[in-house]
C-alpha cells in the first residue's frame, strides 16, 4: 500500500498530465485517469455549459457534480474552491459572488495553477485568485471564507479528517460548504485499493458514504444535507483493465455502488 506522500505524488503527476489533455479525453475516462474506454460518454461529470460564468477553456471534464449550483453563494461572498483545476468552478462561483466578492482556488498541481491563472487573465478577472497548496494544510487564514466548494477532489485526499477540519477552520462562523464527491455503498474489489492509477482516477480513494458523512459531523459541522446523488456506472472495458472476466462479473452482480453525492453543511 502506498504512503500518503506517495499517493499525493501520484495524483500530482497524473493531474499535471491531465492539465495538458482535452476535455473529450478526460470525459471518456475515470476523472481523467486515462484508463481509456470505447464507450464514449461522460462517466462522472455533469454539464456546466448552461451555468452563468461557464468557460469552456476552463472545463476539463473532471467533476462529478455541480456544487456551485447548490452552494447558496451570495453577492460579496468570499468563496474557496478546493482542487480548482483549470478554474471552472471558480468562474461559475464568480458569477454568483459578483465583482464585490472574491473567489480563491487552491490546487497543488503547478500545471493546473498555471492554466487557471491564464484563463482568469484572458477573461480579465481581477477578483479570482489561484494559490498552489495542499488542501490538508490550506494556505489561508482562519475564519475567512463564507462558502467552500469542491468538485470530485476530496476522494483524492488520503486524510479526509484533516481536510474537513481545514474546511471548518477557514470558514467563518455561519459559513457553509457544498461539495460534490465520489463515495461507495459496499466494498470495492481489494486489488483496486492497491492500484495508484485508480486512486488518481477517483475510485479507489473513495470511502463508504456513511463514513464520509460521519467525518463531516465529527469535524463539527451541522445541518448536513445531501443535495444530490447519482450512481456512477463504470464501463466494462475499464473494469476489465483491472479485473479478470470472472471478477468483472462478480463486481457487476454485487451490491457495491459507486456514487456521486453533493453534500451541504454549515459551521455554527
Give the pLDDT confidence of 212-232 residue by residue, as tens digits: 999 999 999 999 999 999 988
Q: Is the pLDDT of residue 45 over 50?
A: yes
Confidence of residue 199 (pLDDT cuts 50, 70, 90): low
pLDDT at 28: 47
Largest CA distance in the chain: 57
Confidence of residue 159 (pLDDT cuts 50, 70, 90): very high
Q: At what angle are helices 4-18 and 110-123 packed, to 10 degrees?
A: 40
User: Three-state SS for 118?
Assistant: helix
Q: Are 189 and 251 in contact, with CB atoms under 8 Å apart? A: yes
What's the grid cell of residue 255?
Answer: 451490491
The arithmetic mean of pLDDT across residues 180-196, rounded, is 79
The DSSP secondary structure of 216-253, one letter per residue, reads HHHTT-EEEEEEEEEEEPPPHHHHHHHS-HHHHHHHHT
In DSSP terms, 242 is beta-bridged to none
pLDDT at 235: 79
User: Three-state SS for 162?
Assistant: helix
The arithmetic mean of pLDDT across residues 1-28, rounded, is 70
The arithmetic mean of pLDDT across residues 9-33, rounded, is 63
Q: 57-80 pLDDT, tens per residue? A: 998 888 889 999 999 999 999 999
Q: 72-129 pLDDT, tens per residue? A: 999 999 999 999 999 999 999 999 999 999 999 999 999 999 999 999 999 999 999 9
Confidence of residue 22 (pLDDT cuts 50, 70, 90): low
pLDDT at 23: 52
Confidence of residue 21 (pLDDT cuts 50, 70, 90): low
The arithmetic mean of pLDDT across residues 242-263, rounded, is 89
Q: Are 198 and 30 in contact, with CB atoms under 8 Å apart? A: yes
Question: How many angstroms separate the Cα of 207 from the Cα of each of 13, 21, 117, 153, 221?
Answer: 22, 28, 32, 13, 19
**Distance between alpha carbon 195 and the CA centroid of its chain, in Å?**
19
Q: Which of 75, 202, 95 is nearest to 151 (CA)?
A: 202
266 burial via Cβ count (<10 Å: 0-12, 13-18, 19+): middle
Q: 137-153 pLDDT, tens per residue? A: 999 999 999 999 999 89
Distance between CA 225 and CA 211 in Å, rounded?
A: 15
Confidence of residue 193 (pLDDT cuts 50, 70, 90): low
pLDDT at 229: 94
Q: Are 108 and 12 in contact, with CB atoms under 8 Å apart? A: yes
pLDDT at 46: 80
> Which domains are seen in the chain, by residue range?
4-266 (3.40.50.150)
Confidence of residue 188 (pLDDT cuts 50, 70, 90): confident
Q: What is the pTM of this model?
A: 0.89
Amino acid at each position: 500500500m502506498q504512503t500518503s506522500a506517495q499517493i499525493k505524488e501520484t495524483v500530482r503527476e497524473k493531474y499535471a498530465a491531465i492539465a495538458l489533455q482535452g476535455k473529450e479525453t478526460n470525459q471518456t475516462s475515470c476523472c481523467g485517469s486515462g484508463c481509456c474506454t470505447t464507450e464514449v460518454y461522460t462517466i462522472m461529470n455533469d454539464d456546466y455549459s448552461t451555468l452563468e460564468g461557464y468557460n469552456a477553456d476552463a472545463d476539463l471534464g473532471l467533476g462529478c457534480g455541480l456544487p456551485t449550483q447548490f452552494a447558496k453563494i451570495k453577492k460579496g461572498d468570499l468563496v474557496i474552491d478546493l482542487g480548482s483545476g483549470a478554474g471552472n468552478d471558480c468562474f461559475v462561483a464568480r458569477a454568483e459572488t459578483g465583482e464585490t466578492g472574491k473567489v480563491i482556488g487552491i490546487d497543488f498541481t503547478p500545471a493546473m495553477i498555471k492554466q487557471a491563472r491564464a484563463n482568469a487573465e484572458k477573461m480579465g478577472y481581477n477578483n479570482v485568485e489561484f494559490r498552489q497548496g495542499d488542501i490538508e494544510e490550506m494556505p489561508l487564514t482562519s475564519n475567512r471564507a463564507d462558502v467552500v466548494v469542491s468538485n470530485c477532489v476530496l476522494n483524492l485526499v488520503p486524510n479526509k479528517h484533516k481536510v474537513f477540519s481545514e474546511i471548518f477552520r477557514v470558514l467563518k462562523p455561519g459559513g457553509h460548504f457544498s461539495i460534490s464527491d465520489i463515495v461507495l455503498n459496499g466494498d470495492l474489489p481489494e486489488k483496486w485499493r492497491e492500484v495508484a492509477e485508480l486512486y488518481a482516477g477517483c475510485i479507489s480513494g473513495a470511502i463508504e458514504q456513511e463514513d464520509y458523512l460521519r467525518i463531516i459531523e465529527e469535524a463539527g459541522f451541522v445541518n448536513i444535507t445531501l443535495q444530490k446523488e447519482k450512481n456512477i456506472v463504470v464501463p466494462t472495458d475499464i473494469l476489465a483493465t483491472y479485473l479478470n472476466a470472472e471478477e468483472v462479473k462478480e463486481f457487476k452482480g454485487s451490491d457495491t455502488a459507486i456514487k456521486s453525492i453533493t453534500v451541504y453543511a454549515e459551521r455554527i
